[in-house]
Amino acid sequence: MRKPNLVIATDTWYPRKDGIVRFLNELLPSLVKDFNVIVLAPNYDSSHVLHKKHKFLLVKLPLSWYGVAGHRSIKLNAENRAAIEEQVKNADVVWAQGQAAIGRYALRYSKKHHKPALVYIHQMDWELLPRAMGVPGILRWFISPWLRRMTIEKTNQFNLTMFPHFGLAEIFEERGFQGRWEIVQLGVNFHHFRPAKDKQQAKEAIGYSHKEKIICYLGRISTEKNLDTLSKAYIKLRDKLTNARLLIIGGGSERKVAELQQINGVKVTGFVSDVVPYLQAADVFVMPSLTETTSLATLEAMACGLPVIVTKVGFMKEYIKKDYNGMFFPRNNVTNLSLKIMHLLMDKRKRAELGENARETVIRDFAWEKTYKKIKRILLKAAGF
């Protein structure tokens, strides 16, 4: 029996290492065992060889000059449309990772050629995009409702929508979504994401002294991630804890990267191929986002045994239990965040307690194997296999 042809449409790809790319990076080695995989992706980096390592077809689509928050779109020309249609018409099932240009075209040609089209909702575009574009608050009141209507309208056209948690499905239904859906929680490979055997060696391996206390963040550097609050909290506590350092694991807006790098004690790694050595070296993890769905980065930090301090947004407000496996701070509250970071950096026992409980939470509730089994079942059923 032949394997079904699975077309994955993604509007983000290497060298970016955002949540969607990390999700696909973890997923593809398993998918290729059960499907003939074709990935439609923007041509950000012609040198990346993941597709050669895991033997799937990567169709790299040329980029336009236009982008949002440093994220360039593909050209909306006949050549790109034809390349997408060519793959979709031979698919057994199409799976979009969002609804930007590649996702929209994949949906359009799925309808044209009567192919089942599924989508995974990684984010709420009507919240994310205006913030990522730096749209002022007043204008967001006008833009967000329009984006919300457009997102819901497109989501209704898919044969099935996967949501990472029930709360997000409820939000979509409250705003007019009427399609079929299933919950597919994000998972973490906790065998790979694990605590350091020796914290001192882990720090030294990435260029820090064992005496330095490392506060870290993992993800895109963009407006909606609210790194301004984190950097201000760091500056506020630095005078009292002179050995504190802020490690930003990720890349993004060149302007924001430059601003962060001007702060004494701040290191920005850019996008890295493996985030684990950096997480293992850290003492505290902070996710200061204004908007999130699941926050894969937070789960990865928890799997590495880190105590986490997060905003009460998205699914984080459900899987983080106050003073058990993490802490909350109010959005934009520099003083509160600074005090909580300082408290954890000065209390080794509390850090260890929260970190151990954080890892146990991931092992119990967010095992990657469970995620893949459910995705495989859904995709095979949609493909008619």
Both 359 and 376 in a single domain? no
Beta 181-183 vs 213-218: how paired, if at all?
unpaired
Residue 94 belongs to a domain: yes
Q: How high is the pLDDT of residue 72?
A: 80
Q: Residue 295: how many CA atoms within 13 Å on its side-chain side?
A: 31
- Interval 219-243 mean pLDDT: 94
Q: How high is the pLDDT of residue 373?
A: 96
Q: Dump pLDDT digits (tens) for 302-333.
A: 999 999 999 999 999 999 999 999 999 999 99
Residue 192 belongs to a domain: no
In the numeric block, which tokens belong to residue 55? 């033997």
Query: How many of the other CB atoms lie within 10 Å of CB of 260?
Result: 21
User: Which of 39-53, 57-71, 230-244 is predicted most confidently?
Assistant: 230-244
Both 222 and 152 in a single domain? no
Q: Dump pLDDT digits (tens) for 337-370.
A: 999 999 999 999 999 999 999 999 999 999 999 9
User: What length does the chain have?
Assistant: 385
The reported pTM is: 0.87
* CA dist., res. 372 & res. 2, Å (int): 20
**CA angle, residues 213, 216, 218, in degrees to nearest 5:** 165
| pLDDT above 60 (res 95) | yes
Q: Residue 282: how many CA atoms within 13 Å on its side-chain side?
A: 30
Residue 332 belongs to a domain: yes
Both 312 and 299 in a single domain? yes
Q: How high is the pLDDT of residue 169?
A: 95
* CA dist., res. 230 & res. 235, Å (int): 9
- Interval 144-162 mean pLDDT: 91
Q: How high is the pLDDT of residue 252?
A: 84
SS (H, E, C) the chain: CCCCEEEEECCCCCCCCCHHHHHHHHHHHHHHHHCEEEEEEECCCCCCCHHHHHCCEEEEECEEEEEECCEEEECCCHHHHHHHHHHHCCCCEEEECCCCHHHHHHHHHHHHCCCCEEEECCCCHHHHHHHHCCCCHHHHHHHHHHHHHHHHHHHCCCCEEEECCHHHHHHHHHCCCCCCEEECCCCECCCCCCCCCCHHHHHHHCCCCCCCEEEEEECCECHHHCHHHHHHHHHHHHCCCCCEEEEEEECECHHHHHHHHCCCCEEECECCCCCHHHHHHCCEEEECCCCCCCCHHHHHHHHCCCCEEECCCCCHHHHCCECCCEEECCCCCHHHHHHHHHHHHCCHHHHHHHHHHHHHHHHHHCEHHHHHHHHHHHHHHHHCC
Query: How many of the other CB atoms lie within 10 Å of CB of 258?
Result: 10
pLDDT band at 130 (very low <50, low <70, confident <90, very high): low
Q: How high is the pLDDT of residue 131?
A: 62
* CA dist., res. 22 & res. 189, Å (int): 11
Both 113 and 155 in a single domain? yes
Residue 193 belongs to a domain: no
What is the CATH number for 231? 3.40.50.2000
Both 13 and 155 in a single domain? yes
Residue 45 belongs to a domain: yes
User: Which of 145-149, 242-246, 291-295 is predicted most confidently?
Assistant: 242-246
Quick one: CA torsion of 205, 211, 215, 216, rounded to 10 degrees? 0
* CA dist., res. 355 & res. 306, Å (int): 4
Tokens 């065998």, located at residue:
191
Both 258 and 169 in a single domain? no
The structural domain count of the chain equals 2
Both 243 and 146 in a single domain? no
Instruction: Look over the chain and give the mean of its residue pLDDT values, rounded to a whole number.
Output: 92
* CA dist., res. 281 & res. 304, Å (int): 10
Both 40 and 108 in a single domain? yes
Residue 244 belongs to a domain: yes
Both 15 and 116 in a single domain? yes
* CA dist., res. 370 & res. 366, Å (int): 8
| pLDDT above 70 (res 128) | no
Residue 236 one-letter amino acid: K
| pLDDT above 90 (res 137) | no
Both 293 and 348 in a single domain? yes
Smallest CA-to-CA distance from 341 within 237, 243, 240 is with 237
- Interval 215-235 mean pLDDT: 95
- Interval 275-295 mean pLDDT: 96
- Interval 102-123 mean pLDDT: 97
- Interval 79-100 mean pLDDT: 97
Residue 323 belongs to a domain: yes
Q: Dump pLDDT digits (tens) for 173-205.
A: 999 999 999 999 999 999 999 999 999 999 999
pLDDT band at 70 (very low <50, low <70, confident <90, very high): low
- Interval 65-78 mean pLDDT: 79
Both 207 and 179 in a single domain? no
* CA dist., res. 267 & res. 137, Å (int): 30
Residue 376 belongs to a domain: yes
| pLDDT above 80 (res 285) | yes
Domain carrying residue 85: 5-187+367-383
Q: Judge contact between 58 and 32, C-beta under 8 A.
A: no
Both 126 and 273 in a single domain? no
